[in-house]
Structure 1
Amino acid sequence: MYLTGDDVADQLLGSSDFALLAGMLLDQQVTMEKAFSGPAVLKERLGTVDPRAWVDLGEDEFVRQASIPPAIHRFPGSMGKRLYDLCRVLVDEYDGDASAVWADVQTGAELKKRLTALPGFGDQKARIFVALLAKQRGIRPPGWEQVAGDYALDGYRSVADITSPETLVKVRATKKAVKAAAKSANLPAAESAGERS
């Protein structure tokens, strides 16, 4: 994967479904590189990228670790708590296995429903992650294109389309153009451009 510009962080995203899911959760109101580097930062501090171990720390200690400079997010308290809540759901409902969220889904609609039930995953973030799973992990339940919407199309719309340093630049350029168009049309940027990935 080529989401952070850091080989260690990108390798973790490529090898850990949980790290990828956690990075997607953090991907708002910070750069994509910062968001998707968060799991690697926490792994270095905590020695693991296992949601069960993170839950075992307790919420207060986990949020404290997330907030140590350099913090994992510009809002480390609220986003650290949200990430802890995600870990708790994964432990309670999926035996700590992030891939179980999508392993046995029968349709794209079911996948999106499971994702939007997770802490921190609204409609748009879920659609982007459906596209990311399809394009970069080969997880393509029937109907995934419909639930992913435009993110399923070829092009450079989101994190799902980044497969090299060059495509990262193209996604950045597309997002910049969308935001500029939204600004000139007096639309809220979030309505037009969505979240940062």
Structure 2
Amino acid sequence: MKRTDLHLAQNPEADELLGRSPLAALVGMLLDQQIPMEWAFSGPHTIAARMGADDLDAHEIAAMDPEAFAAVLQEKPAVHRYPGSMAKRVQQLCQYLVEHYGGDPEGVWRDAKTGAELLKNLTALPGFGKQKAQIFLALLGKQLGVQPPGWREAAGAYGDRGSFRSVADITGPESLTKVRAFKQEAKRAAKEAKETKAAKEAK
């Protein structure tokens, strides 16, 4: 992963870590659910700071006492709305990386020959369903220089050029606003479709 400028946390120090640390980027993506994106992607920097480090280490996190690591995320202000369960997920992710990649998160994508292979590697990670894996794949391809053949196709709609669907498309405040608008519209459409279906079933 090439070192790059990311603007996902909207915080210079947190974004700097995301841009140079593959594990921080993965953990930020893992945390990105049920809370605002900026909160999620600020999480890796907060975790590292509370552990007295300037980066995250998969071996260290994997080996920590679960209660001690949960306390790192639970400390006020909490790293996530559900800090206990997310601490468990982050540890599971790190343990998987240690077991399968010797603790080197870049191993997930470094040797992937195709986009399909990379997607397979990502979906195998604890806490990464297909959608999360596709969004992270798109982030790798669009902003982090990881572009195996077929990566756009493997990322699905998230790999589309000029789209504003996800964190993969956020490069600053303007694009953040566009992604938020897209998500709000998608949420509205989904709610409308659900209500229409319920009305038909009630007839």
1:129-165 per-position Cα deviation (integer Å, ceiling 9, x unaligned): 1101000011111111221110011211000000111
Aligned to 1:157: 165
1:100 alignment partner, one of 93, 101, 107:
107
- Which stretches in structure 2 are left out of the alignment for 5+ residues? 1-5, 196-203
4+ runs of 1 displaced by more than 4 Å?
none
Identity %: 53
Q: Which moved more, 1:54-63 or 1:138-147?
A: 54-63
Show the counterpart of 2:192.
Answer: 184
- List alignment gaps of at least 5 residues for structure 1: 188-197
Give how far 1:56 is off.
2.8
- Whose radius of gyration is greater, 1 or 2? 2
Distance 1:134 1:87 in 2: 23
Partner Cα separation in structure 1 for residue 58 and residue 127 of structure 2: 15
2:67 paired residue among 60, 69, 75: 60
DSSP 3-state at the match of 1:114: helix
- Equivalent-residue separation in structure 2 for 1:119 and 1:56 (angstroms): 16
2: distance between equivalents of 1:109 and 1:58? 35
How many residues matched? 187
How far apart are the structure 1 equivalents of 2:96 and 2:73? 18
CA distance in 1, matches of 2:62, 2:132: 23
Q: Read off the aligned partner of 1:4 and give its amino acid letter.
A: A
Amino acid of the structure 1 residue aligned with 2:85: S
Which structure has more relative contact order (CA 8 Å, sep 6+)? It is 1
CA distance in 2, matches of 1:3, 1:168: 9
Rounded Cα–Cα distance in structure 2 between residues aligned with 1:61 and 1:52: 15
Q: Relative to structure 2, which stretch is displaced further, 112-121 or 49-58?
A: 49-58
Task: Give the TM-score normalised by structure 1.
Answer: 0.92
Q: 1:60-99 maps to which residues of 2 (within 5 A)?
A: 60-99=67-106
SS of residue paired to 1:98:
coil
**AA of the residue aligned to 2:61:** W
Superposed displacement of residue 87, structure 1: 0.7
What corresponds to 2:127 in structure 1?
120
